[in-house]
Amino acid sequence: MTKRAPDVSASPPRRRSKYTLAPLVLIAANVVLFALFFVWPAVIGLVYSFTNYTGVGAFQFVGLDNYQHLFGDSTFFDALTRTLLYTVLFVPLNFVFSLLIANVLVSKHAKGVSVARVFFFIPWLLSPIVVGVLWRWLFGENFGLVNYVIEKLGGSAVPWQSNADLSLLVVVVAASWAWTGFSMLLFIAAIKNVPVSYYEAASLDGAGPWRQFVSITLPSIAPTSFIVILLNTIHAMKEYPLFASLNSGGPGTSNNLLVQYIYQTGFKSGQIGYASAASFVLMLILMAVAIIQLVVNRRVENR
């Protein structure tokens, strides 16, 4: 990956050893940070996951106890299933909307694209905390705009906060709203790289816009689609601030997700060892997601 331009690699090999000090000086700061805040925590995290460490004092190795407990812990399983459900709902919704919007934005027929783009982009700038506050305000059960409109249209107020499933749904909508800007940017770049001649040829053959989209755009942007799905899946698996500010994982604890579970066991109850074990389960899931997507991606590209 660090291959240099051909003219340089063609020069005599002894040049290589000539420059060791300069690059090492240049990366020194990051090497220190990497060791301190990545390698060290990763190692002690793995070690602590086999102990009953509470953050202070002595600790004992307890073998796989933490992991065994974890698999017998219904709170953990609830958090895990809720996280997976959230991911399964959020990722497709975000995908469809950002792809739709990217296509409309590159269309030469649409007017006012440059202004409209700002509307899609601003939500991505907002912090998850503010996004949560904003949707909490919109979906308030007694005061929110959404219920007001529903009642005006003759419906009855919907329990957006007190029904666990609806409450999760609001977070899903809020998250896809907020993340459209990011996915959309990736899609726009990908769509613009599709050679125009493909469309011209298809158009001569009488293919309509939908046919062109399905047969040309979609296959051409497949690699980007995978990246979008991968990034959004990983993002969704570690969502926390949005839940914290939108419904605090509520009603009750029904929408506590994995990161919140880790936060609460680790920092509220001081079970660092146990929380570390939960973290490693999350890590394994994230790595599995990444590996599956890499394999699928490679298979698609080789076809």
Partner 1 sequence: MTTTDMPRKVDAGRGRAVRKKRPSSSASGGLRRAVPATTLLWVLAALYGMPVLWFVLSSFKPAGDLFSLPLTLLPHDPTVSGYKAAWDSANFSEYFINTTIVCVIATILTVGVSCCTGYALAKYDNKWLKVFFVGILATTMLPSEVMLAPQFLVVRDLGLYNSLAGIIIPAVLTATGCFMFRQFFLTVPDELIEAARIDGARELSIFLRIMVPISRPIMLTLAILSFQWRWNDYIWPLLMLNDPDKFTVQIGIQSLVGAQNINWSLVLGGSVISMIPLIVIFLVFQRYVMNADINAGLKD
Residues 89-108 that bind partner 1 (CB under 8 A): 100-101, 104-108
Selected from 51, 94, 180, 225, the binder of partner 1 by CB under 8 A is 180
Q: By rule CB under 8 A, what count of residues binds partner 1?
A: 107
Asked if 243 touches partner 1 (CB under 8 A), the answer is no
Helix (H, G, I), strand (E, B) or coil at 257: coil
Q: From residue 85, how far is each of 47, 79, 233, 253 by CA, in Å?
A: 30, 10, 11, 15
Burial 69-106 (b: 16+ CB within 10 A, else e): ebeebeebebbbebbeebbebbbebbbebbbebbbebb
Least distance in angstroms from the C-beta of 272 to partner 1: 5
Asked if 249 touches partner 1 (CB under 8 A), the answer is no
Asked if 82 touches partner 1 (CB under 8 A), the answer is no
Nearer to partner 1, 40 or 77 (CB): 40
Least distance in angstroms from the C-beta of 72 to partner 1: 21
Q: What is the DSSP string of 31-82?
A: HHHHIIIIIHHHHHHHHHTTB---SSS---B-TTHHHHHHHH-HHHHHHHHH
Asked if 171 touches partner 1 (CB under 8 A), the answer is no
What x-and-dash track marks residues 183-222 binding partner 1 by CB under 8 A?
Answer: --xx-----x--xx--xx--x-------------------
Angle at 8 (CA atoms; ends 7, 12), nearest 5 degrees: 110
Q: Which amino acid, residue 218?
A: L
User: Cα–chain-centroid distance for residue 72?
Assistant: 28
Selected from 79, 82, 94, 128, the binder of partner 1 by CB under 8 A is 128
Contacts of 66 (CB under 8 A, 6+ apart): 49, 50, 52, 273, 274, 276, 277
Asked if 129 touches partner 1 (CB under 8 A), the answer is yes
Asked if 138 touches partner 1 (CB under 8 A), the answer is yes
Q: Which amino acid, residue 201?
A: A
Q: How far apart are CA 173 and CA 154, in angstroms?
A: 23
Nearer to partner 1, 74 or 114 (CB): 114
Asked if 168 touches partner 1 (CB under 8 A), the answer is no
Nearer to partner 1, 89 or 170 (CB): 170
Selected from 61, 64, 119, 211, the binder of partner 1 by CB under 8 A is 119
Selected from 14, 57, 111, 299, the binder of partner 1 by CB under 8 A is 111
Interacting stretch for partner 1, rule CB under 8 A, among 64-72, 78-86, 161-169, 240-248? 240-248
